[in-house]
Structure 1
């Protein structure tokens, strides 16, 4: 239910793209076809009734919004980004034991890909780490990388702060639907499945030829995205147009299940 979004490819340590990553024209990003419309940015310190209304409108019209004054410490968010970056910048030798072809294998690194009409597999210009998490039970950290040494404790601390924030958002969304404030949490139940993905994308000299992550729908109820503050790579689709999600200092992004999203370099 939460997702870190930023990013490498140990095969492509330089910014020069190699043929294996070049997509057919039909799969390439159209960097000119970007909507001028902007994603809603919502201040969580707003009056309660106004906050409920704004979140309801953002969910209905976009399925995606950013929030500020969310209560997750800025220094912790920076620490999460730093520890993830440090992990992905480790040598291939230090990470090779974590590589898997299964993108749902807990605590493993994998690569997304595009399968063309000719059944050709083309890897994305990125690398990802998948793992489960829980806002209370920290036993999941045994499946996390041990290098860097502070990785496990940093992610556990972040999870403890993201959990209550997600519950608050679900409550506000319930009220925006005219339901009891605990309705969505009760539907999800006590056995909610929490998962996280860290995405790492190296600089690319030819971004028009490849993608960091293919367009996709998230199947989780709610996804929280922590972006690098100086990189515009995340895009969401509204109707027939892509919209850039420009990073807002100190903000977290929130995406509903089935909201269409992709990452373009």
Structure 2
């Protein structure tokens, strides 16, 4: 089932009142929206997808040099295999890149395939600019100043997660990602083909995103839920196996405040009728929680 009524945000009209209202409704009702006319050229997008397709196609030994179980490592390759509640095993190949400040990290990125750092560096820079603009508009949609936390966000963390989902081989292990929320403020997602499903909170059904050519997807993360004091909920989402014989790629840009910045509900959104609903926490707190292997979702632990 498709999300046919989901707002499509026209980036070229981002700060018009009607668009701010659209963003508010999309974040509150779905935790998700498409953004069109975002200013990132088709060539930059295609080169990012192509260079990552080439990376995942490299011999295993060339990828394994980045293999690590350390979730805090700035460059990490993993072949993930995770069980989900349907008693199925889901697998994917995953590459994580820290990307801001770019000059601190780019030389740690893969140097193969040729021009990987150049092509992905260009994409990361363009998506970061988009993220900063979107963050200001989202703050405005909460009736906060568009400059609220702007400096913290500009100096914050950008982590890129690239996922490769090969076609299913017919075994009991399928390619995909189990249902989860992102522990970011916002996630900007690019995908080579449809496969993202989000939970529609109005009826509890899984629904697929529209295949809107040229659009990027914006997902509300756990820390935006915290800032909004629960007005905006992080979106539960998953990835499912491709129905064709092609490998599906997704590039997720996770935008957060600084690693040790404490994220709390905006004081303007807390009063007697809307008491504080979340404890303060940082991105590092979340990563340490991941390392601990505690099965409790982190966003449950910070709720009051």
The verdict on a shared fold, with TM-score over 0.5 as the criterion, is yes
Mark the CA change 1:168 to 1:37 in structure 2 (over 3 Å): closer, same or farther.
same
Q: Check conservation: 1:170, 1:184, Cα contact below 8 A.
A: no
For 2:218 and 2:171, locate their aligned partners in 1 and report how far apart those are by CA, in whole Å.
25
The one of 65, 78, 93 equivalent to 1:127 is 93
For 2:34 and 2:170, locate their aligned partners in 1 and report how far apart those are by CA, in whole Å.
29
For 1:182 and 1:68, locate their aligned partners in 2 and report how far apart those are by CA, in whole Å.
23
Question: TM-score, normalized by length of structure 1?
Answer: 0.77
SS in 2 for 1:197: strand
For 2:6 and 2:107, locate their aligned partners in 1 and report how far apart those are by CA, in whole Å.
37
Partner residue, 1:196: 160
Aligned residue runs from structure 1 range 209-220, under 5 A: 210-220=174-184
Say if 2:237 is the partner of 1:261. yes
For 1:209 and 1:260, locate their aligned partners in 2 and report how far apart those are by CA, in whole Å.
22
Partner residue, 2:137: 172
Structure 2: unaligned runs, 5 residues or longer = 222-233, 242-304
Aligned residue runs from structure 1 range 73-84, under 5 A: 73-84=41-52
Structure 1: unaligned runs, 5 residues or longer = 1-33
Q: Check conservation: 2:102, 2:121, Cα contact below 8 A.
A: no
Partner residue, 2:36: 68
SS in 2 for 1:113: strand
Deviation track 1:66-106 (CA, whole Å, cap 9, x = no partner) reads 11100111110000000000000111122222222334422
Q: Which has the higher contact order (CA 8 A, sep 6+)?
A: 1
Say if 2:117 is the partner of 1:160. no
Consecutive aligned runs of 4 or more in structure 1 exceeding 3 Å deviation: 34-39, 188-191, 205-209
Q: Check conservation: 1:103, 1:130, Cα contact below 8 A.
A: no
Mark the CA change 1:51 to 1:207 in structure 2 (over 3 Å): closer, same or farther.
farther
Partner residue, 2:77: 109
For 2:169 and 2:83, locate their aligned partners in 1 and report how far apart those are by CA, in whole Å.
23
Mark the CA change 1:38 to 1:205 in structure 2 (over 3 Å): closer, same or farther.
farther
Mean CA deviation greater in 137-146 or 79-88: 137-146
CA-based RMSD? 2.4
Mark the CA change 1:184 to 1:37 in structure 2 (over 3 Å): closer, same or farther.
farther
For 1:167 and 1:98, locate their aligned partners in 2 and report how far apart those are by CA, in whole Å.
29
For 1:203 and 1:115, locate their aligned partners in 2 and report how far apart those are by CA, in whole Å.
18
